[in-house]
Structure 1
């Protein structure tokens, strides 16, 4: 018979061995070569456009906003069709669905034309892609690296055995072709981000950008690509049938040849791309700069702000605001320091508006519990809150789909209507302290005013305005001019969601949200 002490010692030994196995199975020492972005070539179609733009506009960027998922997917596929020299893509999530398949197919077709493809993907929310990535990486022009990988043997047990490392993630999102044009914003690669999923629409925003700032985006990509945390997909010795690469290639050719209708053709014929081709809309022009964290942020203690490059710049600009700040974020948890910052800004007479998810629309109930803790406090200080109405769907998109629910996923901030931020940054502890983030600051009174005004006009049909009533209780009001509703509990949320919020508020998890 074993004693309780023996059982305890055996359990501790098992956990120790598990931890050692989890750490040892991540091949960070796998050999790899450093590389940098392929220089822009003015002889390529995109390079010629970029060179011509810079000759005319100097350091200012060309910017096209993309709120439609159809437009966003179409822009990626079109850029992949014309890529000649290089494709550099960096994402937090790539899913094995139709959007992921179209994207992977575009990468393969670009590589077949001779473009050098580098794909960098964070490991935590892209499970099941190893085989597909291994097949793609069999192409001589494609390299794929997994950022901060989890153990393949124990995967999510890495959070128990190596939490300090596994908890730090690369949330950056960028897509650059021929070092001439980039897409930056909040979208990952998956059906819900491009409005293909009929169950939910992730309302998102990105910018297509050309100009000198593309070089900054490429430099930022290189830093992550060459980080010791970026591990080649070959290191994991996946048992993949690389001969399937030819099958994929043939399927892509068939899709491109036969697509008179369907997803591919619909994306390439999106309204935005049609209007750009016809000249109906033209790119906006503005000084634009990239701010990005580096992998160093992920190796320092959580809470150390020294390497939070993007957050430091955001705070600096917010403190300098004189009139108005509008924050659009799916997850808003200011914590004590952030709440004090907003109170300080409000005390100067600066208007602060926060647009975020309601309890009914959020895809992370635990996050809402952290947000709810600060809502009344900031309302009393004078902040304005608007929460997305989950059932405010509107018209069908270009796919002919009308999702059942809307969830805010955009990350945008305007300051004094002359600065717009678009990027990956959420206003929550995970983005601020734990993960790496990136984004563009666009400095233009014309763009800032137009963006803020359009945002303001669009709030009424899709949001609840949150206020305090005469009894200091929360009140939600919906008023789109045709209908007015007033409720006194989280609108549209089930009792189960409300119960979860109450439960999560009891747990000491705010710093991880």
Structure 2
């Protein structure tokens, strides 16, 4: 038998280099056996400012939780920064993405400032789409009160993303959960990652996103869910990668916060913490929604079992159970909607028994993932024929300047929300696609309130007149997009506001066997 090395001279020099790189990458390993200590959330204490508020809330409302909606990016960033400022005992943050941009730096600086005050900080980040953060994370973890862990990380001994290819089966499984909890008293849960686009900071494309801030017993449930992931075998301490850093650079972060905090009314920090919602909260002009709530979260073991293992599909199973109990209407808001065959049949069964199904998702023009649209388009006509209603976001439906004073040129939907019978609201990280349902871990909150549910639903339907195309079938069964808002009335018979190239890509991706990965 010929030696494997004998074929190398026959390859182009670049091919030899690629093979060697891939081989070295495959030999690299992730330090899953690195020693680490398990830890648990700190108990709620009335000795903290937020804890005192949480105890008063429980005395007045019992087991019911309180919720404040966060549709605007400046409010969402400002509330986070204020929560970090008020932290006295603990901060637990779990995110899919944390970017090294202005928003990420402000958030990390808030963690550092809290740690300087003696607060215990645990930061858990998925390791796939947070670029160039190793040095920053290593700096943070050098602080005695900060522990940073990467979830299911890629190898660091070689070209990073080649490790994704050579260990695809493991590396393809990701933690998509998103939560921030301070002093086990208040949490924020929803669809946002930590990055400028998620807070609408100076972006030409506005991410339409949604979260809720909460207080009450539900916060402890979020904390226990965090502990489950934090103590998983897949959560690797940043220290395991042994990056050398100059600890004195932490002072640069501290200086950054001081400069931003005193940069006048136009500064990013000042704009966030003085957003209208935060001012309303300070003046007691906003009343939280009071309701029973339930946390649902996948377990980290989902990433260690076969894709689609029925025992680990916690979030989607609970969603499906509630869908089956629906008697009137299901409203789904999801940036990515790919039901696959089983999901399409499930939706058809709901429609057959008289449940109204409304889906709000991105149009081809507004989506930031064209391959996902190709998967969605495969089922759109089928479900329209079954009676489902579809609305697709109009890419130029931008309301005007945002709170940062910036005028975006386009909008993309990133919110993940579901309303069942106008009584139960789901807010979380779940997209209605194969990746969220079967491959990644997800989490979310069910809020049980007929008053809030109907108001939330009505507000979405009202906004659709301005923000979305209504998709239906004409008398010949051909797809039709209709927009009617005031004097603006349009009827189109091809994907609106798109170039031939964008439409061509959809057709190309539909030919590829990639639906299960979308």
Q: Deviation at 1:260?
A: 3.8
State the partner residue of 2:220.
215
Q: Deviation at 1:189?
A: 0.4
Q: Deviation at 1:20?
A: 7.1
CA distance in 1, matches of 2:105, 2:148: 16
Is 1:150 aligned to 2:154, yes or no?
Answer: yes
* Structure 1 residues 328-366: Cα deviation after superposition (integer angstroms, max 9, x where no partner): 000000000100010000001110000000000000000
Counterpart secondary structure, 2:137:
helix
State the partner residue of 1:459.
464
CA distance in 2, matches of 1:39, 1:245: 29
Counterpart secondary structure, 1:422:
strand
State the partner residue of 1:491.
496
Q: Deviation at 1:253?
A: 2.6
Tell me which of 406, 429, 440 is aligned to 1:435.
440
Q: Per the alignment, do residues 274 and 4 of structure 1 end up closer, same or farther by CA in structure 2, a change over 3 Å counting?
A: closer
Q: Per the alignment, do residues 374 and 8 of structure 1 end up closer, same or farther by CA in structure 2, a change over 3 Å counting?
A: farther
Is 1:226 aligned to 2:231, yes or no?
Answer: yes
CA contact (8 A) 2:260 2:268 kept: no
Q: Deviation at 1:154?
A: 2.7
State the partner residue of 2:271.
266
State the partner residue of 1:294.
299
Is 1:139 aligned to 2:150, yes or no?
Answer: no
State the partner residue of 2:200.
195
Q: Per the alignment, do residues 56 and 243 of structure 1 end up closer, same or farther by CA in structure 2, a change over 3 Å counting?
A: same
Q: Per the alignment, do residues 21 and 111 of structure 1 end up closer, same or farther by CA in structure 2, a change over 3 Å counting?
A: same
Q: Per the alignment, do residues 9 and 315 of structure 1 end up closer, same or farther by CA in structure 2, a change over 3 Å counting?
A: farther
* Structure 1 residues 453-495: Cα deviation after superposition (integer angstroms, max 9, x where no partner): 1111110101000010111110100101221011110001111
State the partner residue of 2:392.
387
CA distance in 1, matches of 2:107, 2:3: 57
Alignment of 1:314-463 (within 5 A): 314-463=319-468
Q: Considering only aligned residues, what root-mean-square deviation do their CA atoms show, in Å?
A: 1.9
Is 1:159 aligned to 2:164, yes or no?
Answer: yes
CA distance in 2, matches of 1:251, 1:388: 38
Tell me which of 53, 58, 61 is aligned to 1:57.
61
CA distance in 2, matches of 1:495, 1:317: 40
* Structure 1 residues 78-112: Cα deviation after superposition (integer angstroms, max 9, x where no partner): 10111111110000001111111110111111111
Counterpart secondary structure, 2:247:
coil
Q: Per the alignment, do residues 361 and 278 of structure 1 end up closer, same or farther by CA in structure 2, a change over 3 Å counting?
A: same
CA distance in 2, matches of 1:6, 1:461: 66
CA contact (8 A) 2:207 2:412 kept: yes
Q: Deviation at 1:249?
A: 1.6
- TM-score between both structures, scaled by the size of structure 1: 0.97
Q: Deviation at 1:257?
A: 3.9
CA contact (8 A) 1:213 1:289 kept: yes
Counterpart secondary structure, 1:460:
helix
Is 1:38 aligned to 2:42, yes or no?
Answer: yes
Counterpart secondary structure, 2:490:
strand
CA distance in 2, matches of 1:218, 1:10: 57
CA contact (8 A) 2:303 2:441 kept: yes
CA contact (8 A) 1:134 1:242 kept: no
**Residue segments in structure 1 that go unaligned for 5+ positions in a row:** none
CA contact (8 A) 2:92 2:123 kept: yes
Tell me which of 204, 214, 217 is aligned to 2:209.
204
CA distance in 2, matches of 1:385, 1:9: 57
State the partner residue of 2:106.
102
Is 1:253 aligned to 2:258, yes or no?
Answer: yes
**Residue segments in structure 2 that go unaligned for 5+ positions in a row:** none
Is 1:180 aligned to 2:185, yes or no?
Answer: yes
* Structure 1 residues 364-420: Cα deviation after superposition (integer angstroms, max 9, x where no partner): 000000000000000000000000001111121111112111000000000000000
Q: Per the alignment, do residues 17 and 194 of structure 1 end up closer, same or farther by CA in structure 2, a change over 3 Å counting?
A: closer
CA contact (8 A) 2:202 2:404 kept: no
Q: Per the alignment, do residues 380 and 398 of structure 1 end up closer, same or farther by CA in structure 2, a change over 3 Å counting?
A: same
Counterpart secondary structure, 1:478:
strand
- TM-score between both structures, scaled by the size of structure 2: 0.96
180-189 or 493-502: bigger deviation: 493-502
Q: Per the alignment, do residues 23 and 328 of structure 1 end up closer, same or farther by CA in structure 2, a change over 3 Å counting?
A: farther
Counterpart secondary structure, 1:220:
helix
* Structure 1 residues 270-315: Cα deviation after superposition (integer angstroms, max 9, x where no partner): 1111111112211010001100001110011012121111110000
Alignment of 1:77-96 (within 5 A): 77-96=81-100
Counterpart secondary structure, 1:461:
helix
Tell me which of 119, 125, 132 is aligned to 1:128.
132
